Structure 1
Amino acid sequence: MMKGVEERICEEMRPKYYGLCAIGGMLSAGTTHLAMTPLDVLKVNMQVHPIKYNSIASCFTTLLREQGPSVLWRGWAGKFYGYAAQGGCRFGLYEYFKSLSSDILVDRNRSLVFFVSSASAEVFASLALCPFEAVKVRVQAQPPFAKGLADGFPKLYASEGILGFYRGLVPLLGRSLPFSMVMFSTFEHSVDFLYRNIVKRRKEDCSKAQQLGVTCLAGYAAGSVGSFISNPADIIVASLYNKKADSLMLAIRKIGFLNMFTRSLPIRMLLVGPAVALQWLFY
């Protein structure tokens, strides 16, 4: 038994294992975010133009009337490639840093292992996502800016240089770091809770369908909690990229403290909860 466990641990410590985790993260995050593009278009426009679009229904009908059905898929390339890059770093590096942290931190600090590992991975994941997010948000909220990534990247570089791609890096980290830390920690603890108190069996003793069911429930809980925690920073990112404010503090003052937590929150939870559940399922 011990030999089998040691062989499994050695297998998980190999670069091939982390590479497969990264590929799994790329495919799961890229495809799920691509599928959620219409909801993301509504969310971004409600964040950037809150007076014009004061509800999900009004945003949906107004966009369709003014720009046609194709508007719901604006920015799809930025969603797919950007979040694929983020997902590869987020999941692959999380597994890598978790193995390192587990060797350094004692067992009673499991939550600390999850927080440290996810935060470390998310720094690299946000750096990978930031340029794609800069173009995507403008394509979705400013139709005249560009049609997509192909013309959006060179246009943004020509007008603002390399710094234009990282204008929202600080609030993006403010959104992604707490989200990733809460998401991974909530997922890991939810899985433990479900197996111990609901299923009342070890994972190894459950069928594949039961394991996937636990994964989906834990993933949805993780996405919902994470979306609430990170909503303020998400709104600030959209505001900065669309030049509704020139600085972080000005954006906070213009948006308002309460609005940072409530604006577009229902649609974001509708967007993020299922997306994270599907990511864990595919992963």
Structure 2
Amino acid sequence: MDRPGFTASLVAGGVAGVCVDLILFPLDTIKTRLQSPQGFNKAGGFRGIYAGVPSAAIGSFPNAAAFFITYEYVKWFLHTDSSSYLMPVKHMLAASAGEVVACLIRVPSEVVKQRAQVSASSGTFHIFSNILCQEGIQGLYRGYKSTVLREIPFSLVQFPLWESLKALWSWKQDHVVDSWQSAVCGAFAGGFAAAVTTPLDVAKTRIMLAKAGSSPASGNVLSALHGVWRTRGLSGLFAGVFPRMAAISLGGFIFLGAYDQTRSFLLELGRESP
């Protein structure tokens, strides 16, 4: 990938990530509390809805930037012809690679954020310090495997669907989609992907919130899913599905729209520069 494209992807991804995480943080808190083992009310209900926001704010830019740098680089590296039937496969591989890299930044931020969301009386730095003292660096990466196992299926649905909807819309109107049209496609793709991957999100939340040394803390996704199924049934596996769909649909609209808009602006700026 050329340097302007690399820089544009980095900045555009970071800007889009910060916009989404801060605007939609309350919905994420509600979703986390609905999925927590102690239940919504005991986890804080609607109180302290911005608990954990410093962790999200710090992690947003590098997390989103890492994803989109990897996503665009892998798409460029594979350089499949745009008319090829292999295009969806290219988008799936690029999105999966992006998630694996981004989760190296996302997971520590997510662990601290989610624990703050269900314990609003504890500050973000206090929770971060406790994790390091009690569990070490590995404590910050608890749930890495479950996060990757959630994000890859999510991306395998969202990104090929997003790219396909954009291509279909472009073909229908005989020109490349505008940023708002890309955002609409992103909202639909994100909402659909969110719904079908909610059980994996529930498992990830349970693993991250589990007490050190407990069975869920081991990070076994199948065991976490079985535990939820045994105690709360199907409704437990889909706990928080509506706020998750709402957050990710709105997030897809803002994130992918802001990404396309910012990237196009930066590339245009680069072309105009001497």
TM-score range, shorter chain: 0.7 to 0.9
**CA RMSD, 1 decimal:** 2.3
Report the alpha carbon displacement of residue 259 of structure 1 after superposing the two structures with TM: 3.7
1:105-126 Cα offsets, whole Å, 9 max, x none, are 9933111111111111111011
CA distance in 2, matches of 1:113, 1:161: 37
Q: How many corresponding residue pairs?
A: 250
* Equivalence map 1:67-216=2 (5 Å): 67=47, 71-102=48-79, 107-144=84-121, 146-148=122-124, 150-197=125-172, 200-203=173-176, 211-216=178-183
Q: Which amino acid aligns with 1:223?
A: G
Whether 2:245 is the aligned partner of 1:269: answer: yes
- Tell me the CA shift for residue 228 of structure 1: 1.7
Q: Aligned match of 2:224 in 248, 251, 254? A: 251
Structure 1 residue runs of 5 or longer lacking an equivalent are 1-12, 204-209
Equivalent position to 1:43, from 21, 31, 47: 31
Q: TM-score, normalised by structure 1?
A: 0.81
- Pair 1:96–1:52, CA change in 2 (3 A): closer
Structure 1 residues 165-185: Cα deviation after superposition (integer angstroms, max 9, x where no partner): 111011100111111222211
Could you tell me whether the CA contact under 8 Å between 1:174 and 1:230 is conserved in 2? Answer: no
Contact 2:55 2:110 in 1 (8 A): yes
Counterpart of 1:63 in structure 2 is 45
Using the alignment, how far apart are the partners of 1:24 and 1:152 within structure 2?
Answer: 30
| In structure 1, distance between residues paired with 2:28 and 2:20 | 12
* Higher percent of residues as helix: 1
The higher relative CO (CA closer than 8 Å, separation ≥ 6) is in 2
Aligned-residue offset at 1:32: 1.1
The aligned runs of 1:22-33 (5 Å cut-off) are 22-33=10-21
Instruction: Give the whole-Å Cα distance in 1 for the aligned partners of 2:87 and 2:80.
Output: 11
CA, structure 1 residues 21+142, in 2 after alignment: closer, same or farther (shift >3 Å)? Answer: same
The answer to which of 267-276 and 188-197 deviates more is 188-197
Post-superposition offset of 1:52: 4.6
Distance in 2 between residues matched to 1:202 and 1:260, nearest whole Å: 44
Q: Taking every aligned residue pair, what percent have the same amino acid on both sides?
A: 21
2:205 is aligned to 238
Q: CA deviation at 1:212?
A: 2.2
Q: Deviations over 1:54-106 (max 9, x none)?
A: xxxx99xx734xx4xxx011111222222322211111211111011125999
Q: Name the TM-score, length of structure 2 as normaliser.
A: 0.83
Can you give the 5+ residue segments of structure 2 that lack an aligned partner in the other structure?
A: 260-274
Moved over 6 A (4+): none
Tell me the alpha carbon deviations over residues 144-165 of structure 1, each in whole angstroms, 9 at most, x when there is no partner: 5x311x3332221111011101
- 1:86 touches 1:129 (CA, 8 Å); kept in 2? yes
Quote the Cα distance in structure 1 between the aligned partners of 2:144 and 2:186.
26
CA–CA separation in structure 2 for the residues paired with 1:103 and 1:86 = 26
Q: State the match for 2:258 in structure 1.
A: 282
8 Å contact kept, 1:231–1:260: no
Following the alignment from structure 2 to structure 1, what is the Cα–Cα distance between the partners of residues 182 and 38? 35
Cα-to-partner distance string for 1:16-65 (whole Å, 9 max, x where unaligned): 32122111111111121111111111110110046455xxxx99xx734x
Find the aligned partners of 2:38 and 2:240 in 1 and give their Cα distance: 9
Q: Is the 8 A contact 2:52 2:114 kept in 1?
A: yes
The structure whose Rg is larger is 1
CA contact (8 A) 2:185 2:253 kept: yes
Helix, strand or coil: the match of 1:63?
Answer: coil
